Structure formats: C-alpha cells, structure tokens
Amino acid sequence: MMSAPAAGQRSMAFSGSTEPRFWWHRLPGNEYVPPIYASLSDDEWRVLDEWYADTSRENLIGECAVPMMSLLQSFVMGSNIRSIVQLGTHSGYSALLLGFFLRRSRAQQGLISFEIGEPLCAYTRTWLQRAGLTEYVRIEHRSSLDDDATVVAREYLGGSPELVFVDSSHEYGNTLAELESWYPALAPGGLMVLHDSSEFAASFDVTGQGGVRRAFREWRGLHPGVETFCLNHDVRAMVSPGMVYQDFCGAALIQKPLHP
C-alpha cells in the first residue's frame, strides 16, 4: 500500500487537475490544504483520495466543494453538533467527511442521509464501510418527503436533528416542500443549511422554476419571524469577482428560534 502524503501536501495536486470538480483548488491564492482535509488522519485521507479517483472513473461527480464543506465543518466540529440529517447523498462525499467529523467527537449514529437513487445508496454504503463509518452514518434509500422520513430520522438520531443539510434535487417545488417538512422537525436553535441558493445555481432546476433560490425566498416570506441569511444569492456566473465566500453556487441558512 502506498504511503499517504504529508498533511501539508494532501490536496495540493488537485490544483493541477483540469477536472471541473477541482475549481476551488485552482483559484488564485488557494495553494494550501484546507482544514477539512488537513484535519483527517492518514487513513481517512487515503480513503477520500481513493474515493475521488473512483468517482472520476465512474463519472459519479456531483459533490459540493471546499467552501460548503468548510462551513459545515465549522458548525459540526466548532459547536459539537451530534445529530445531522442530510437530504441528498449522491456518491457520498459529504457523508464521508461528516462521518469523519462525527467520529472525531465520538458521536455515533450522528448522521442519516436520504437518497432516492438505490445505486447511489449502495455505492456510498460501500465507501462508508471502507472508511469504518457505519456506526456513525446511515444511508436511507427513501425520499426526504416520505410521510415517515422525519420519524425515521428521529429514531436513528435519538432525537431531533440539530442540523439539516439540504442538497437534493435542486428543484423549486421539491425544495420548498422539504423546507416545510423538515423545519418543524428541527431542534430548537437548530440550523438548516441549503446548498445551491445563488442565482447561478437556479439553472440546476430541471423544471425551470427557479430552484433553491426561489424556494428559499418564498419560504422566508412565509416565515418572517425566522432568522435567515443567503450567501452569494445574486452571483450569476461561475467566476464572480469580489466573492468573499468562494462558492458561486451559494448557501442559505435558517435558524429555528430557541423559544416559540
């Protein structure tokens, strides 16, 4: 078995790749290993590096990038969040990383991820097994909008989720329904984080109805007393000068009040 690269070199090779998925690593000034990778053990990094190679070969690319994962890491590891629901698994990138973070804090049964694609569920479970994360992460082959999805999540987590990460269909109607379904299930003070909330990312909605951006704006209008914020909501292109939060796809945040 090849030895793992030093922590300071792990993802540096990505900056020389022409794959679109590594766009963040090619941005000027980003010649460093971000904490989401630097904090991993050698074995954890080896698994993730092999996952990258395999998903490239199998054309299973569709994960979020460094800025979103760094935002999630700050919540999970900075605030000891121990119960997470993920809506949309795809090939398992964020499930693996969130699992590594949860293992660091010894939060078993800390993440349940809902995915409607059975092959994607099987693929992700294989990598979670390989990473030794099956005690921390469960992949549920089920629509996030099933009537009993919130019950299944609560039973697995042992209570209400502290964090719900929405990164599923990117369709306006489905996302609005997910917000209405999962916000009530959220623990008081808990967070909902939505990926792909920018104007640019609205093009990901195959129904052409405005995507996550429109769903978030309409939901916010229906719940004026809830704390919300949208990062990069007006970014219109993959390269946008002046972005401080370096993700052109955007991120939206919702926090449930501690008291009704």
What are the tens digits of pLDDT across the range 121-166?
A: 999 999 999 999 999 999 999 999 999 999 999 999 999 999 999 9
Question: For residue 22, what are the contacts with CB-CB under 8 A and spacing of at least 6?
Answer: 14, 15
| Sequence-ordered alpha helix ranges (H) in the chain | 35-38, 42-58, 66-78, 93-104, 118-131, 149-157, 172-182, 211-222
Give the Cα separation of 196 and 254 in Å (integer). Answer: 14
Q: What percent of the chain has pLDDT over 70?
A: 97
- 248 pLDDT above the threshold of 80: yes
pLDDT band with cut points at 50, 70 and 90 for residue 3: low
pLDDT of amino acid 6:
73
Map tokens 């078993």 to a residue: 108
Mean pLDDT of 214-236: 96
pLDDT of amino acid 5:
67
pLDDT of amino acid 60:
98
Chain center to CA of 107: 18
pLDDT band with cut points at 50, 70 and 90 for residue 8: confident
Pairing mode of beta strands 227-231, 251-255: antiparallel
pLDDT of amino acid 242:
78
Torsion of CA 97, 100, 106, 109, to 10 degrees: 50
pLDDT of amino acid 105:
97
Q: What is the mean pLDDT of the chain?
A: 96
Mean pLDDT of 99-108: 98
Mean pLDDT of 75-79: 98
Model confidence pLDDT, tens digit, residues 204-218: 999 999 999 999 999
pLDDT of amino acid 4:
59
For residue 67, count CB atoms less than 10 angstroms from its CB and return exposed for 0-12, middle for 13-18, buried for 19 or more: buried
Give the Cα separation of 87 and 184 in Å (integer). Answer: 15
Give the Cα separation of 85 and 159 in Å (integer). Answer: 11
Mean pLDDT of 87-110: 98
Q: Which region among 15-24, 82-91, 140-149, 238-247 has the lowest average model confidence (pLDDT)?
A: 238-247
DSSP structure class, residue 185: T
Give the Cα separation of 94 and 85 in Å (integer). Answer: 12
- 223 pLDDT above the threshold of 60: yes
Domains of the chain and any CATH numbers = 63-255 (3.40.50.150)
Q: What global pTM score does this model have?
A: 0.96
Pairing mode of beta strands 163-166, 191-195: parallel
Torsion of CA 145, 149, 154, 160, to 10 degrees: 10
Return phi, psi of residue 169, to 5°: -80, -25
